[in-house]
């Protein structure tokens, strides 16, 4: 049983990958329309491969899967599992939800004072919800989500399909 939740990339990763995909697509289209097809075929094939790869990464989603009583955190692409990681739920009794901020800042010039004055603030933060398994002396992260309705779905899915309590 699968539960596909939300995009596996955060906002800035998604934005940067869209820009990178657009740039590589424009280079490919420019090469196809301006030079002979056979002269740079290797570069064109590499650009086609990169565009397919970037588009695939853009559409990946994270989610949960229960298989034979085991809980897995998975990365999905159009419903197909690309990666799954087993979580050992037998060592834990309950799950916990932690609310926080997921913040990304691409300001790199803090070390160089001259550049720090004119660099724009590129900080982007969203509310995040981290679902963790807890025991008396240990805690393990299950999944981090940004949408509260998807968090409720994930918690209900975990409680219904495992021995963990909320």
Proportion of the chain above pLDDT 70, given as a percent: 87
pLDDT tens digits, residue range 135-145? 888 888 888 88
> Tens of pLDDT along 81-91?
999 899 888 88
pLDDT-based confidence at 21, cuts 50/70/90? very high
Question: Is residue 133 included in any domain, yes or no?
Answer: yes
pLDDT at 161: 85
pLDDT the model gives residue 38: 72
Q: Is residue 166 classed as helix, strand or coil in its secondary structure?
A: coil
The share of the chain scoring above pLDDT 90, in percent, equals: 19
Q: Is the Cα torsion angle 47, 57, 123, 103 positive or negative in sign?
A: negative
Q: 132 and 145 in contact (C-beta within 8 Å)? A: no
Distance CA 109, CA 14 (A): 23
Residue 103 belongs to what domain range? 2-161
Which residues on neighbouring strands pair with residue 84, listed in sequence order? Answer: 74
Mean pLDDT computed over 104-131: 68
For 157-166, the pLDDT digits (tens) are 888 888 878 7
Q: Would 140 be classed as within a structural domain?
A: yes
Backbone Cα Rg of the chain: 21
Is residue 166 assigned to a domain?
Answer: no
Taking the whole predicted model, whether its pTM rises above 0.85 is answered as no
In total, how many domains does the chain have? 1
In a domain, 57, yes or no: yes
78 belongs to a structural domain: yes
The structure tokens 């998975």 sit at 74
């Amino acid at each position: 049983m699968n539960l596909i939740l939300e995009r596996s990339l955060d906002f800035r990763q998604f934005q940067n990958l869209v820009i990178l995909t657009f740039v590589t697509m424009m280079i490919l289209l420019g090469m196809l329309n301006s030079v002979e097809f056979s002269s740079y075929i290797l570069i064109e094939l590499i650009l086609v491969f990169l565009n397919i790869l970037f588009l695939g990464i853009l559409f990946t989603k994270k989610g949960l899967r229960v298989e034979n009583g085991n809980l897995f955190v998975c990365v999905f692409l159009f419903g197909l599992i690309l990666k799954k990681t087993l979580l050992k739920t037998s060592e834990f009794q309950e799950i916990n939800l932690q609310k926080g901020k997921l913040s990304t800042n691409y300001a790199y010039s803090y070390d160089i004072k001259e550049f720090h004055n004119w660099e724009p603030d590129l900080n982007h933060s969203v509310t995040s919800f981290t679902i963790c398994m807890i025991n008396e002396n240990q805690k393990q992260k299950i999944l981090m989500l940004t949408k509260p309705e998807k968090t409720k779905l994930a918690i209900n899915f975990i409680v219904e399909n495992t021995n963990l309590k909320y």
